[in-house]
Amino acid sequence: MTQYSGTQHSGAIMSVTGVTRRFQRGAETVLALDNVSLELYPGELAVAAGPSGSGKTTLLSLLAGTEAADSGQVTPLPPLPTGVSPGELGWPYLAFVPQALALLDEFTVAENVSLPAALNPAAASGTPSTEELLERLEIGHLAGRYPSLTSGGEQQRTAVARALRLRPPLLLGDEPTGHQDRARVALVLSVLRLHAYHGSAVLISSHDPEVISAADRVITLADGRIVADERAGTPASQPAPASQQA
């Protein structure tokens, strides 16, 4: 990998500038993110790595707009709508797989995956069908089941399928392979890689060496700071080997 000076490149889809996020724990102030800057690019499968507590979830939550920064900016750039905050973008533009998954238990697996399309019918044309995504993620047989009656790994793949439903230009995932067995880690990675290959920016967090080694770019955090931002030699625009594609 080579050192990646991401902030120098044009064509970014999301820009993070000098972002700091503190949490108060009693008398103690925890600096979860400390003056972090980076840019995300279409066509790139990036992984946020780093030890537990290094700030990965906080970074993803700020990018997804589910948390606000104390200072600094998170700025959507074209083809995302501009002049809005990340939290206003919605499924057609930004899909997030949070660690808690946020599946709706009163809806079936298929209904959960269809939700972004049901809420944004105009954005659904030309996007993969719910059935196709369920098959690709090997949960087609669970379409009519409620998420609470499926395994943790199956629920996680449901949340990944939901995130892909409108083929968003930006997909974020907080350890989206964390509940998968080895074969399904490779499956989820191949699906995310294909999504990046089609031109989207993908950023996921992971501790898993297999996930980290499959990334186009590895952003390593420690104590709320980016300590390395490296790109693999292989351009993100090259497709994954056919054997890895779903």
Ligand X SMILES: Nc1ncnc2c1ncn2[C@@H]1O[C@H](COP(=O)(O)OP(=O)(O)OP(=O)(O)O)[C@@H](O)[C@H]1O
Q: Count of residues for the chain?
A: 246
Question: Going by DSSP bridges, is the β-strand pair 14-25/71-76 parallel, antiparallel, or unpaired?
Answer: antiparallel
As beta bridge partners, residue 191 has none
- The smaller minimum CB distance to ligand X, of residues 58 and 177, is found at 58
- The smaller minimum CB distance to ligand X, of residues 37 and 120, is found at 37
Q: What is the CA radius of gyration of the chain?
A: 17
Distances (CA, A) of 164 to 18, 116, 160, 169: 29, 9, 6, 10
Residue 204 near residue 47 (C-beta atoms within 8 A): yes
- The smaller minimum CB distance to ligand X, of residues 55 and 128, is found at 55
Under DSSP, is residue 24 helix (H, G, I), strand (E, B) or coil? strand
Per CB under 6 A, contacts with ligand X among 144-183 are: none
Per rule CB under 6 A, is residue 227 in the interface with ligand X?
A: no
Per CB under 6 A, contacts with ligand X among 21-60 are: 23, 25, 30, 32, 50, 52-58
Shortest spacing between CB 36 and ligand X, in angstroms: 11
- The smaller minimum CB distance to ligand X, of residues 13 and 60, is found at 60
Residue written as token pair 């995932």: 173
Shortest spacing between CB 212 and ligand X, in angstroms: 13
Shortest spacing between CB 25 and ligand X, in angstroms: 5
Find, among 198, 197, 178, the residue nearest to 188 by Cα. Answer: 178
Shortest spacing between CB 67 and ligand X, in angstroms: 9
State how far the Cα of 206 lies from the Cα of 225, in Å rounded to an integer.
16
**Residue ranges that bind ligand X, judged by CB under 6 A:** 23, 25, 30, 32, 50, 52-58
